[in-house]
């Protein structure tokens, strides 16, 4: 994202530190009993990870203790990179009340407040980085800024802001309401035709988003639109992809139906979110184009359970769609993985309760994907999709000192990731021995 902005920020920050002389360098060494580095599929035993300030500086065999370094003893734990969820909605929460009532009683300010709380919950669950793919643009941009400057605790964020889509599509929040009823934010992401799409992408870039999220097919948790139908034209998708890529922004495409998946992948979106009704032909296109699949199995399971047990919480037509779509998601994830499609871990947090993100691992393993592959999906693969492998997603020199640790090996028991006992982000410990560090 905005590499230039990052460089400028880094440059001015180091200038300030140099002038004030207030920077106190900190050296740490982590003794990792077992190490999963996020890149290799082989675990290593008895490794020392040396950290200077917020970055990893060296990985060494055996337990070494450099002079002056603080030792963090995780010699009986499995240490891995901080986890990455490539599909969250930090400012949203489904299921807290009837969906349509929530839509007209929650303000952007309410969403901002819950976003602050959800960000902290997500970090403490071991997710040190997220890609937020849908929320009010000014709110999520402010949330990212607040995390970056240390005002709030939360994962590092890459945010899309408003999702872009057509009138009557998955991004049209006014669908199903009295047409006289409206909120400014409801029409913020509506684009009809390539001209509107072009202008909107440039506007979003100007407003500070890191990536663009589009909805080429209908969705499940929205009123009236058909998940199987391609609702954006190829020309609209292409304009958005070309404009976003020119501005060094990636494009995430929500798509359930095969046509939308195939067309969006072929046009060059960077990821397909959900991807429910993909088939062998879709996988071939995705492989050829290098498109990631972000499976979001926990979202499918959650809306399915809502539809079965609490349909009154969902808008009319949503329950029916959930029952039709959700059962296909797990087998699709497995088939995509088996076909060699790149998988990035993503959960749709906000559809289910924030902080339970790691349940996705168990669902992926249950679908047939090997545990180590699900960990790679949530570390180096998610970082690659985000476009910042130089900073996150692996335990290698130069990366941020973002780590989690589990008491037992998650490759043997994937549910270990649902209760990580240690969380570090940028060299600061947030959780140790399962306890929150104030």
Residues near Zn ion, by CB under 5 A: 348
Residue closer to Zn ion by CB (options 303, 383) is: 303
Q: How far apart are CA 329 and CA 319, in angstroms?
A: 16
Q: How many CB atoms lie within 10 A of CB 140?
A: 28
Q: How many CB atoms lie within 10 A of CB 192?
A: 15
Q: How far is the CB of 213 from Zn ion (least distance, A)?
A: 8
Q: How far is the CB of 207 from Zn ion (least distance, A)?
A: 20
Residue closer to Zn ion by CB (options 348, 384) is: 348
Residue closer to Zn ion by CB (options 236, 348) is: 348
Q: How many CB atoms lie within 10 A of CB 249?
A: 23
Q: How far apart are CA 332 and CA 367, in angstroms?
A: 9
Q: How far is the CB of 66 from Zn ion (least distance, A)?
A: 44
Q: How far is the CB of 139 from Zn ion (least distance, A)?
A: 16
Neighbouring residues of 143: CB distance < 8 A, sequence distance ≥ 6:
90, 91, 112, 115, 116, 119, 132, 152, 154, 157, 159
Residue closer to Zn ion by CB (options 222, 379) is: 222
Residue closer to Zn ion by CB (options 188, 348) is: 348
Q: Which of 416, 276, 273 is nearest to 346 (CA)?
A: 273
Residue closer to Zn ion by CB (options 262, 348) is: 348
Q: How far is the CB of 183 from Zn ion (least distance, A)?
A: 19
Q: How far is the CB of 217 from Zn ion (least distance, A)?
A: 13
- Helix 280-289, helix 329-338: angle, nearest 10: 50
Residue closer to Zn ion by CB (options 85, 348) is: 348
Cβ atoms 342, 391 nearer than 8 A: no
Residue closer to Zn ion by CB (options 134, 166) is: 134
Strand pairing class (435-436; 428-432): antiparallel
Cβ atoms 84, 271 nearer than 8 A: no
Both tokens of 145, joined, read 């800024």
Q: How far is the CB of 162 from Zn ion (least distance, A)?
A: 13
Say if residue 340 is exposed, middle or buried (CB neighbours under 10 Å; 0-12, 13-18, 19+): exposed
Cβ atoms 82, 392 nearer than 8 A: yes
Q: How far is the CB of 417 from Zn ion (least distance, A)?
A: 21
The residue of the chain with the least Cβ separation from Zn ion equals 348
H helix runs in 339-411, sequence order: 359-367, 371-376, 382-386
From the centroid of its chain, how far is CA 127?
A: 9
Residue closer to Zn ion by CB (options 95, 410) is: 95
Residue closer to Zn ion by CB (options 219, 393) is: 219
Q: Which of 323, 339, 219 is nearest to 285 (CA)?
A: 339
Q: How far is the CB of 89 from Zn ion (least distance, A)?
A: 6
H helix runs in 209-312, sequence order: 234-246, 258-267, 280-289, 297-309
Question: Alpha carbon of 395 to those of 39, 49, 55, 187, 290: distances in Å?
Answer: 8, 8, 10, 42, 24
Residue closer to Zn ion by CB (options 79, 86) is: 86
Percent of the chain that is helix, strand, coil (3-state, to 5): 40, 20, 40
Q: How far is the CB of 386 from Zn ion (least distance, A)?
A: 16
Q: How far is the CB of 271 from Zn ion (least distance, A)?
A: 12
């Amino acid at each position: 994202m905005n590499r230039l902005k990052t460089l400028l920020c880094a440059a001015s920050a180091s200038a300030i530190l140099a002038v004030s002389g207030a920077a106190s360098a900190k050296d740490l060494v982590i003794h990792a009993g077992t190490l999963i580095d996020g890149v290799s599929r082989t675990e290593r035993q008895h490794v020392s990870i040396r950290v200077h300030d917020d970055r990893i500086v060296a990985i060494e065999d055996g337990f070494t203790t450099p002079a002056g370094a603080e030792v963090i003893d995780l010699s009986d734990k499995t240490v891995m990179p901080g986890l990455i969820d490539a599909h969250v909605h930090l400012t949203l929460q489904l299921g807290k009340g009837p969906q349509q009532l929530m839509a007209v009683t929650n303000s952007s300010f309410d969403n901002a407040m819950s976003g602050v709380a959800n960000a902290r919950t997500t970090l403490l669950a071991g997710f040190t980085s997220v890609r937020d793919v849908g929320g009010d643009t000014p709110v999520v941009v402010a949330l990212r800024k607040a995390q970056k400057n240390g005002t709030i605790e939360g994962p590092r964020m890459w945010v899309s802001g408003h999702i872009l889509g057509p009138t009557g599509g998955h991004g049209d929040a006014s669908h199903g309401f009295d047409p006289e009823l409206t909120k400014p934010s409801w029409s913020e992401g509506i684009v009809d035709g390539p001209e509107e799409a072009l202008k909107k992408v440039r506007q979003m870039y100007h407003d500070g988003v890191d990536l663009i999220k589009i909805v080429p097919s209908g969705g499940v948790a929205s009123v009236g639109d058909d998940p199987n139908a391609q609702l954006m034209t190829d020309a609209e998708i292409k304009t958005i992809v070309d404009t976003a890529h020119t501005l060094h922004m990636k494009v995430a495409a929500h798509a359930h139906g095969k046509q939308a998946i195939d067309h969006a992948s072929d046009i060059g979106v960077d990821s397909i979110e959900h991807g429910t009704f993909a088939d062998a032909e879709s996988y071939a296109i995705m492989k050829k184009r290098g498109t990631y699949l972000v499976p979001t199995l926990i979202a499918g399971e959650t809306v399915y359970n809502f539809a079965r047990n609490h349909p009154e919480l969902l808008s009319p037509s949503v329950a029916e769609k959930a029952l039709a779509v959700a059962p296909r998601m797990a087998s699709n994830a497995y088939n995509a993985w088996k076909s060699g499609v790149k998988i990035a871990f993503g959960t749709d947090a906000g559809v289910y309760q924030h902080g339970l993100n790691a349940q996705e691992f168990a669902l992926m393993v249950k679908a047939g994907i090997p545990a180590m592959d699900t960990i790679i999906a949530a570390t180096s693969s998610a970082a690659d999709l985000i476009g910042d492998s130089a900073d996150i997603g692996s335990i290698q020199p130069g990366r941020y000192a973002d780590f989690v640790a589990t008491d037992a090996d998650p490759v043997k028991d994937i549910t270990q990731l649902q209760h990580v006992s240690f969380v570090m982000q940028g060299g600061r410990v947030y959780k140790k021995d399962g306890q929150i560090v104030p």
